[in-house]
Structure 1
Amino acid sequence: MATRSPQKRFGENGGLPTFNPPSRERAQNEYLDQTPKNQFPYVVTGDQSAELSYDPAAFPKNLPLQQIQGGNSRLTYKMPQGADRAQIYIQTNGRPLKARVELWLGPIRRVHFMDISNMNGAETPYRGCVKFKNTDSAGPQTLEISTSEDQAFPCFVGVDVMTPERSKERQQVFDETWKASQKIYSQGDKTIRSIPIADHCKSVQLLVWSKDVGKKSFKANVEFLQGPNCKRQYYQLQCGGSTQPYQAVFETPGNGWTMRWQNTKTLHDGSHEFVIIPHELESDAPPEVVAAFEANSGSVNSGSHLGGSYGSSLGPHGF
């Protein structure tokens, strides 16, 4: 009687037999071989995963801010012709940050959604980058930012709409970062991935894309916990998959942070990959980590030297 050949081991899905494209195995074996058996398969630490071109203008903190009151107040931004990428910065004066970011294509089709709930919007502001289809081909698109129903939670909002030239530069950096980083697979049906973050990572960068694993839209809950049960940051993300990759920076000040990723789409329709890498390091990071990060990303403290003023426009890139 012929025996069935054993299933191939799928490193990032707990051994379950799933679709396993070659793109998902680029660096998996290397990371597993170099990881001690008593540690997580992947930890955000800033050595190999810091192979990216650091650009302070990618997620600026000094955008011109507009205050938006609580109680379901809304700000809308019509995307200009030729635009296909916008950066968003939302903070508070120390109160909890509760806001919602939506990108609408026409009156009824929502192509991007991010629900934000942070304990401290001054310590952990939201910095995201939304990629969407060009308005010349897809039609008029509107970015809408709103607050929660509670009147006690106003916030400050800054939006930077990139020029087509600047957007191409950012896409090239995104592609290089995606190619050089360890990708973590998430299949669907509320599967959970927990990623520890090293104490010397002051902020981390998240990239999500599904172009290699189905090219479908993705939907996930993202939590940043500090300690076993302290949920400091919580996000509900829904975005297009292949043509609309998602990118954001999340602040992780202090020690003991862990990112928990929960895929909320169905088992057969929710496959996607995500990358979580350091964005800024603390000044007291280990010397070998600092050396590796500086070799690939420039100065460790370069995020504090943004400078400049964007005047009355939506951002620094000309629109």
Structure 2
Amino acid sequence: MKFYGSILALCAILPSSSAFYAQAPKTTVSPLFGYSGGNDPGAPPAVRAVGPGGPAGAVSPAEAQRAKDIWETSSPVLVQGSTLRTWSFPNPQVERVQVLMKTEGRPLHANIELWQGPDNTPQKLGVYIEDGSVRPFCAVIETPRGPNAVAVYNTGNLEFPFSACVEAAGPKGPVAKGTSKMTPRTIQGGALHTYPFAPQVQSVQVLLKTDGRPLNARIELLQGPNNIKQVMELYTEDGLERPFYCIIESPGSGNVVRVLNTAPMEFPLSACVEPYLVENGPEVTISEGLPGGNIGELRW
């Protein structure tokens, strides 16, 4: 009897078996952006958002799931080689759209244009990705003063189709002038700056902006010497009203993001390049809001 009593006392002081379960990934919000998605007070805090000023509430599980199955919840369009597809947004309240593209493992060649009125193209973007499955394309285009239309043109051959999805990305207006603990780097016209990242960084977020002048830039992802995995050629008529934000997938080691200001000396730009998704063993840190969801209000 004493033996069984000792066993029962030992079981009473042991921790619960739930302590051996895998912990949910932790999420932090970068000071570059403020997540403004809907927080459900009654929902379980599956993901905890922690900003520079302290806890910012729990991201709803629906938004977390949306980040994973954006291609299932959306309606992607298959764009064949040398074909054009357009998405119209006649509603003037749509002031920001998100563009997603991917392939089934083949290269991706595309041109993206923002149309606003007849013969008015305030923003152009040329994209090359070596493998559109490993590194899908994700970018945000500001669309103030609608109606607007986004045109996606597959400049590759017929053997290289890709899937594209363009949808509204949040009710907020253009980039707001806010405060941030992160200081953007000024890149003068014709200058080049590189940002190396550790192998734990799985994706990188890039934000380019000017003081109202045109924005001309080239963004490259390199993995090893002279091994270019992704290239983006950007032109924006007004870099203050239409800044450029994108997420670059950077799996593996030896990743370097290179930003080149292709404009003359009189047209500098401000660049913020920082990790987006960081893996630290079993813990995953997301430095920003959920891709594909309400990315919130861009802040500087």
| Deviation for aligned residue 1:49 | 9.7
- SS across alignment from 1:98: strand
Q: Does structure 1 residue 148 correspond to structure 2 residue 155?
A: yes
What is the one-letter code of the residue matched to 1:130?
I
User: Structure 1 residues 167 and 284 mapped into 2: Cα distance closer, same or farther (>3 Å)?
Assistant: same
Give yes or no for contact 2:112–2:126 (8 Å, CA) kept in 1: yes
Match of 1:200 in 2: 200
Unpaired segments of 5 or more residues in structure 2? 1-27, 38-62, 295-300
Q: Does structure 1 residue 122 correspond to structure 2 residue 143?
A: no
| Deviation for aligned residue 1:221 | 0.8
| Deviation for aligned residue 1:297 | 5.7
Candidates 163, 172, 175, aligned match of 1:167 = 172
1:44-65: CA deviations, max 9, x gaps?
A: xxxx994344676797743321
TM-score using structure 1 length:
0.66
Q: Does structure 1 residue 277 correspond to structure 2 residue 284?
A: no
- 1:48-87 correspondence runs (5 A): 50-51=30-31, 52-53=33-34, 61-62=70-71, 63-71=74-82, 73-82=83-92, 83-87=94-98
Candidates 260, 263, 268, aligned match of 2:258 = 260
Q: Higher Cα Rg: structure 1 or 2?
A: 2
- SS across alignment from 2:131: coil
1:18-41: CA deviations, max 9, x gaps?
A: xxxxxxxxxxxxxxxxxxxxxxxx
Distance in 1 (alpha carbons) for counterparts of 2:137 and 2:97: 14
Match of 1:185 in 2: 186
| Deviation for aligned residue 1:226 | 0.2
Give yes or no for contact 1:94–1:121 (8 Å, CA) kept in 2: yes
- SS across alignment from 2:121: strand
Unpaired segments of 5 or more residues in structure 1? 1-47, 309-314
- 1:29-44 correspondence runs (5 A): none
| Deviation for aligned residue 1:110 | 1.0
Distance in 2 (alpha carbons) for counterparts of 1:182 and 1:50: 13
Distance in 1 (alpha carbons) for counterparts of 2:268 and 2:153: 29
Give yes or no for contact 1:206–1:275 (8 Å, CA) kept in 2: yes
User: Structure 1 residues 49 and 59 mapped into 2: Cα distance closer, same or farther (>3 Å)?
Assistant: closer
Give yes or no for contact 1:102–1:114 (8 Å, CA) kept in 2: yes
Distance in 1 (alpha carbons) for counterparts of 2:161 and 2:110: 9
| Identical amino acids, percent of aligned pairs | 24
| Deviation for aligned residue 1:197 | 1.4
Match of 2:210 in 1: 210
Distance in 1 (alpha carbons) for counterparts of 2:161 and 2:99: 16
Quick check: which one's strand share is greater?
2
User: Structure 1 residues 264 and 191 mapped into 2: Cα distance closer, same or farther (>3 Å)?
Assistant: same
Instruction: Give the superposed CA RMSD.
Output: 3.1
What is the one-letter code of the residue matched to 1:65?
P
TM-score using structure 2 length:
0.70
Please say which of residues 75-84 and 252-261 is displaced more in the overlay.
Answer: 75-84
Give yes or no for contact 1:97–1:153 (8 Å, CA) kept in 2: yes
Give yes or no for contact 2:110–2:128 (8 Å, CA) kept in 1: yes
Alignment size in residue pairs: 235
Distance in 2 (alpha carbons) for counterparts of 1:152 and 1:182: 44
Match of 1:28 in 2: none
Quick check: which one's helix share is greater?
1
Distance in 1 (alpha carbons) for counterparts of 2:226 and 2:105: 22
- 1:232-243 correspondence runs (5 A): 232-239=229-236, 240-243=238-241
User: Structure 1 residues 297 and 148 mapped into 2: Cα distance closer, same or farther (>3 Å)?
Assistant: closer
